[in-house]
């Protein structure tokens, strides 16, 4: 289960909308309890460094990745994962997402449609390198 503070959710959605029709990307941080439940409190928006078609691909530079590690260290938060958007496509990971994915990280995908609506889902690699969906706690975000 993963829960997302409203400010963090708003930042990710806004990044998806502002970047449309390109893919946006960034990192998120927070806490994890002993049962593996995660709570996202902070978001770091970074540049989509992909050269070429940013509408279908994203890439984060090594320099920006290290900013993410530094952010977690300075704020004393856990570095929990990566978000990106799928403009005009569902919030389901592609094969390219899976091949490039790292263990432990949650991967939030924001589906952004041309009518400016968004839908968010979260995924995590299992031990067989396959994505499994993580339930997003929507109870505290009833207006989303």
Partner 1 sequence: MATVIIPTPLRKFTNNTAKIDIHAGTIEETVNELTVNFPDLRKHLLDEKGQIRSFINIFVGESDIRDLQQEKTSVKTDTLISIVPAIAGGNLKI
- Rounded to whole angstroms, the Cα distance separating 35 from 26 reads 25
Q: Give the nearest distance from C-beta 10 to partner 1 in angstroms.
A: 22
List contacts with partner 1 (CB under 8 A).
Answer: 23, 25, 50, 53, 56-60, 62, 65-66, 69, 72, 78-79, 82, 84, 86-87, 89, 93-97, 99-105, 107
CB closer to partner 1, 100 vs 140: 100
Q: Give the nearest distance from C-beta 20 to partner 1 in angstroms.
A: 13
CB closer to partner 1, 34 vs 103: 103
Nearest Cα to 26, choosing from 57, 58, 1? 58
The first and second tokens of residue 10, run together, are 């708003």
The first and second tokens of residue 7, run together, are 């400010």
Nearest Cα to 32, choosing from 79, 73, 85? 79
Q: Give the nearest distance from C-beta 3 to partner 1 in angstroms.
A: 20
Tally the residues of the chain: 144
């Amino acid at each position: 289960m993963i829960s997302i503070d409203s400010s963090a959710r708003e930042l990710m959605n806004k990044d998806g909308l502002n970047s449309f029709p390109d893919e946006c990307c960034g990192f998120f941080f927070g806490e994890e309890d002993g049962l593996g439940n995660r709570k996202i409190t902070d978001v770091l928006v970074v540049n989509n460094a992909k050269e070429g078609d940013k509408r279908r691909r994203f890439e984060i530079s090594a320099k920006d990745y290290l900013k993410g590690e530094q952010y977690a260290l300075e704020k004393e938060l856990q570095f929990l994962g990566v978000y990106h958007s799928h403009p005009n496509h569902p919030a389901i990971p592609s094969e390219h997402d899976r091949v490039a994915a790292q263990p432990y990280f949650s991967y939030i995908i924001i589906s952004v449609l041309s009518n400016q609506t968004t839908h968010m889902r979260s995924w995590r690699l299992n031990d067989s390198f396959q994505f499994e969906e993580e339930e997003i706690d929507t109870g505290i975000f009833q207006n989303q």
